[in-house]
Structure 1
Amino acid sequence: MGNDKTAIERFKEYLHFTFHIKDLGAPKYFLGIEIARSDRGISLSQRKFVLEIISEAGLSGCKPSVIPIEQNVKLTTKDYDAGTSEDNDPILNDPSGYQKLVGKLIYLTMTRPDISYAVQTLSQFMHSPKLSHLNAALKVVKYLKKCPGLGILLSKDCNMEMLAYCDADYATCPMSRRSITGFCIKLGNSLLSWKTKKQATVSLSSAEAEYRAMAKTTCEIIWIRGLLGDLGIKLKGPTKLFCDNDVALKLAMNPIVHERTKHIEVDCHFTRDKIQEGEWYRFVIVENGETAWKIY
Structure 2
Amino acid sequence: MPTETTITSPDLSVTLSDLGAELQSITTAAGDALLWHGDPAFWGGRAPILFPIVGRGPNDRIAVNGQEAAMRQHGFARHSTFQLVEVTPDRCVYALNDSAESRAVYPFAFRLTLTYHLIGPTLSVTAEVTNASETAMPFGLGFHPAFAWPLPGAGKAAHRITLANGAEPALARLVDGHLAPERSASPFDAGVLPLHPDLFDADALIFPGGAGDALSYRAPDSAAPALHFTFSNTPNLGIWSKPGAPFVCIEPWHGMAARTGDGPEIADRPHTTILAPGKTASFGYALRVE
Higher relative contact order, structure no. (Cα contacts within 8 Å, ≥ 6 residues apart): 2
Question: Please, what TM-score do these two structures have when normalized by structure 1?
Answer: 0.24
TM-score using structure 2 length: 0.25
Q: Which of the pair has more CA radius of gyration?
A: 1
> Which has a greater percent of strand?
2
Structure with bigger helix share is 1
